[in-house]
Homo-oligomer: A and B are copies of this chain.
Amino acid sequence: MPKLELHPDRLFPADPSIRTIARDLYKSVRDLPIVSPHGHTDPSWFALDESFGNATELLLVPDHYVLRMLYSQGIAMEDMGVAPAGSGAAADPREAWRLLAANYHLFRGTPSRIWLDWVFSEVFDLDQMLTAETADLYYDRITDSLQQDAFRPRALFDRFNIEVIATTEAPLDTLEHHAQIRESDWNGRVITAYRPDPVIDPEFEGFRDNLRKLGELTGEDCTSWKGYLAAHRQRREFFREMGATSTDHGHPTAKTADLSSGECEQLFARVQADDVSAADAELFRAQMLTEMAGMSLDDGLVMQIHPGSFRNHNPQLFERFGRDKGADIPVRTEYVHALQPLLAKYGNDTRLSVIVFTLDETTYARELAPLAGHYPVLKLGPAWWFHDSPEGMRRYRRMITETAGFYNTVGFNDDTRAFLSIPARHDLARRIDCGFLAELVAQHRLEDWEAGELAQDLAYNFAKAAYKL
């Protein structure tokens, strides 16, 4: 029966001279609190503090990384415990878990394997590898544990040494769970972030309906350009009061625009019509990034841009199972021309902070590092989504550091809804960053004490500073 053991040197470069340095650096940051400035955990977990249910509900069904890999090998969604949107049942959770177990070899070489093994070993104290043979042992151990108080959301939050975590909500959200957390006697710091895509993207499901609701919620006339902007300002202020320090924008491209207010009014009228054109939708999103930057100048919210995902690429799957099932695919993304209108207007204003992410690694060295290495407002988010992995993070550091330096980056984001994997993800990032710093030291490109300072910055300080936490 194969053992499960997390090796203390895992993820460090193999060369002994580098590994020794990496190990020392890692020791100095291993126990720092977790700062999680951007992610997708559910605030109701921390508000209600209920049990997470069973192993399958917690670790399989909601994890689109795991679903897509199993699906790619011909395993049906239903068999993984995912119920179709309308009628139709999903497999029994234990059966679904057995399927994961029998196919766990598919994750060899992937970050999911690293995250899950950490959760199994560190959270549930399992010491044999997940296989067909250990499937039930795992299912029972995890499911039983989840019934215990020590495995409820707040207890895990505390155990994970999380200093602060940001969730992500839309403007129509009333943030009642956040209110509940703040009013509770629990000390955990859970804040929100303003993600206005549903009321900004004319191609978002229910956009016009969302505008109407935004109007109701704010008392502003959201059919007029001015009222619409005022509604944003009002909601941003409400989010800020509820702890938000940032906004987030998940657009198909990074395009920005700087139209006159007359053009904006006309465009806003057109995107409220029945048959909005793709070009108008794109232009409106572009203009709204610039508007959001302008509002950030006033209210101090840090702006995040996450562009470049082709959402719901698989229409059959989307119809049957909905969003976030692993069928979002990155596309080529351009930044130099796209961001120019926003940067031409606000790029030199040191009161503003814009953090840019990418799913297109070709832009690291060519576009993003040169832009962030020049504009005062720009910083680079960490390796994101498909690139939030050992090799992905190494490529990120290798391709951006020489032009953008370390100080135009913002530390690590876990960007996940897989709450239990958060410490694993931060641990992975800390190990890879320490390995990278150790390489620089071993090549005499950095002194060891400089690497020591940077290790602290990358693991903790940069995230706090960049997100104003």
With known contacts A337-B331, A367-B331, A376–B71 Cβ distance under 8 A: yes
Binary interface encoding of chain A residues 329-372 relative to chain B, with 1 for a CB under 8 A from any of its CBs, else 0: 11110101100100110011010000000011110011101111
Check A401 against B105 for contact (C-beta < 8 Å). no
In the complex, what residues of B have CB within 8 A of residue A28's CB? Answer: none
In the complex, what residues of B have CB within 8 A of residue A331's CB? Answer: 336-337, 366-367
Check A443 against B108 for contact (C-beta < 8 Å). no
In the complex, what residues of B have CB within 8 A of residue A328's CB? Answer: 370
Check B340 against A313 for contact (C-beta < 8 Å). yes
Interface stretch, picked from A12-20, A30-38, A196-204, A268-276, is: A12-20
Check B391 against A72 for contact (C-beta < 8 Å). no
Check B332 against A374 for contact (C-beta < 8 Å). no
**In whole angstroms, how far apart are the Cα atoms of A453 and B2 in the complex?**
14
In the complex, what residues of B have CB within 8 A of residue A105's CB? Answer: 407, 450, 453
Check A344 against B316 for contact (C-beta < 8 Å). yes
In the complex, what residues of B have CB within 8 A of residue A390's CB? Answer: 402, 443, 445
Total interface residues on A, using CB and 8 Å?
94
With known contacts A317-B348, A371-B329, A374-B72, A11–B445 Cβ distance under 8 A: yes
In the complex, what residues of B have CB within 8 A of residue A405's CB? Answer: 69, 106-110
In the complex, what residues of B have CB within 8 A of residue A89's CB? Answer: none
A380 → chain B closest CB, angstroms: 11
Check A386 against B407 for contact (C-beta < 8 Å). no
- CB under 8 Å from chain B, chain A span 391-415: 391-392, 398-399, 401-408
Check B14 against A14 for contact (C-beta < 8 Å). no
A175 → chain B closest CB, angstroms: 32
Which residue of B has the minimal Cβ distance to A351?
B74
Binary interface encoding of chain A residues 63-95 relative to chain B, with 1 for a CB under 8 A from any of its CBs, else 0: 000001101111000000000000000000000
Binary interface encoding of chain A residues 444-466 relative to chain B, with 1 for a CB under 8 A from any of its CBs, else 0: 11110110011000000000000
Q: Which of B2, B72, B389 sits near A373, CB closer than 8 Å?
A: B72
Check A443 against B12 for contact (C-beta < 8 Å). yes
A171 → chain B closest CB, angstroms: 30
Check A370 against B108 for contact (C-beta < 8 Å). no
Q: Which of B18, B314, B406, B447 sits near A347, CB closer than 8 Å?
A: B314
27 A-B pairs (CB sep. < 8 Å) = A7-B444, A11-B444, A14-B15, A14-B18, A14-B439, A14-B443, A68-B374, A72-B372, A72-B375, A72-B376, A72-B404, A105-B407, A107-B405, A108-B450, A109-B446, A114-B445, A310-B337, A313-B374, A314-B343, A314-B375, A316-B347, A317-B348, A329-B367, A329-B371, A330-B366, A331-B367, A369-B386
- Given A72-B378, A109-B401, A326-B373, 4 further pairs, Cβ under 8 A: A316-B348, A361-B362, A390-B402, A391-B401
